[in-house]
Structure formats: structure tokens, C-alpha cells
Amino acid sequence: MRLLLVNPNMTRAMTDTMVAIAAKVAGPEHEIVGLTADRGFPYIASRAESQIAGGIALEMIADNLDGADAVIMAAFGDPGLRGARELFDLPVVGMADAAIMSAAMLGDRFSIVTFSPVMRRWYLDCVRDSGLIDRSAGVRTPHDHPLDVNGVKETLRAELCALARRAVEEDGADVVILGGAPLAGLAQEIAPEVPAIVVDPISAAVAQALALVRIAPGPFSAVRHCKPIAKTSVGLSPSLRSIVGHEPAGG
């Protein structure tokens, strides 16, 4: 299969790290196509930024749909996810959504641990939007925003471990999700130190993308009832305009 890994942030190094982890999870028989936003923000951390980056992500998907089997929205927070699912005729997986749903299949209650208090509110929105807020045991973060987001996997390792243990022992989590792209890959490392199942969101997203294609291979029915009706538009990329307008592909 061919999976689009759509990073709606502008930081290419983040995309590269995620593609590497994704490739390892997917194995050599699947292709991971990494895409990095060419406008927007270096790193999204709020709903305002997510509003804008989500629109950009829709264009990134539309421009690269050809031959794709599934799409991974590769930012924890899943900008544009609901709209993409309406619009495109293939499975679209959100990194937060996939991690949350997977966690809910692995245990009863899950917590999210992340590297900055700034993300808490946005991540809680994700849990709420997923519908699984009643199975959430909360979000735990360090008290302050880190000086340098890029190195947190190393600089905050001990603190994140401690937070994960508290999520298990005090909040009752069976499963801990390490949220946020800068923590990609950390779950596997600290799992032995946490008395629970630890989930890496990018791994979850890849595994769920492969699963959903098995369950519901695209292209989905052209007459999907929930699809927006055809619309004219101004200022969208040609491929997105064409999809929004229900124009025949390659027209």
C-alpha cells in the first residue's frame, strides 16, 4: 500500500523522523510518502493554528491523492481530519484519533502524557471530539513550556517517565499515549519503565491506516450520502477545487 504521511507543520526534520518510524512499523511491502507543509507554522500548538493548518492539509492531500491507499494526518491534534473524511474517498487516519482508539482497544482507560502545558487544552479537545472522553484518565504535562521543543525526547525523558507512572498509579490509566510529534518513537524506549501499555501515536496511525484499508478499501462509493454536494470555489489549489467541485478526475 501507499500511505500519505501528511505533516501539516513546516518542520521537515519532524516529517523525516516520522517517516522513518512509519516505515519500520509498516514494513518494506508498504510505501510511506512523507509530505511537509510549505506554508503555515513550524509547529502547531493551538486551535487557531489548527484551523489554518487543517485547510493547508486538505490541499496537501488533494495534490497527492494519486495512487494513495490511505492518508495519515501526521500531527497530534489532527488538523482537518473531519473535513478530510467527508471529502476524500479513502481512509484518513488522525495521529491523535488513531492513538486514542487504539488505546481504548488495549485497555479500559488511557492517559495522554506530553511535553508542554500549552498542548493540554488542544489535546483534550481531540479526546472530546473522538467521543471517548469518558474513558480518558486525563492529560499530564510538565509545569512549564520547554525552552527547546526539538530536544524534549532527551531533556525531558525522566520527567515524562514519571508523569506516565503517575498517570497509571494515580489516575488509573491502563494505557499511556505519548502525545506530540517531538515525542515520536519515545514510547518504545520508556515502555519497560512504565507499569502499563505505552502507545506511540505515529506507530498507531500507521497500523490503523493499514487496518482501515483492509476493512474498507477505497475508492469509497461515489454516492456516499455524507459527502458535501458539489461546490464552485475560488483560490483553492486546482486539485482540491476539482474534488470540491465533483469534477471528473484527470478532467
How many residues in the chain? 251
User: What's 165's DSSP letter?
Assistant: H
> Which CB, 39 or 148, lies closer to a second copy?
39
Q: In what order do the strands lie in the sheet with 175-178?
A: 136-140, 110-113, 175-178, 197-199
Radius of gyration from C-alpha coordinates of the chain? 18
Nearest-approach distance from CB 16 to a second copy, in angstroms: 19
At which residue does the C-alpha cell 474534488 appear?
A: 243
At which residue does the C-alpha cell 494505557 appear?
A: 175
> Which CB, 84 or 156, lies closer to a second copy?
84
Nearest-approach distance from CB 229 to a second copy, in angstroms: 6
Contacts of 162 (CB under 8 A, 6+ apart): none
Nearest-approach distance from CB 199 to a second copy, in angstroms: 6
Nearest-approach distance from CB 246 to a second copy, in angstroms: 12
What nine digits make up the cell of 122? 488542544
> Which CB, 14 or 210, lies closer to a second copy?
210
> Which CB, 87 or 162, lies closer to a second copy?
87
Contacts of 92 (CB under 8 A, 6+ apart): 61, 70, 71, 73, 81, 84, 85
> Which CB, 151 or 172, lies closer to a second copy?
172
What is the Cα–Cα distance from 65 to 88, expressed in whole angstroms? 9
Nearest-approach distance from CB 59 to a second copy, in angstroms: 9
What is the Cα–Cα distance from 133 to 246, expressed in whole angstroms? 36
> Which CB, 13 or 215, lies closer to a second copy?
215
Nearest-approach distance from CB 177 to a second copy, in angstroms: 10
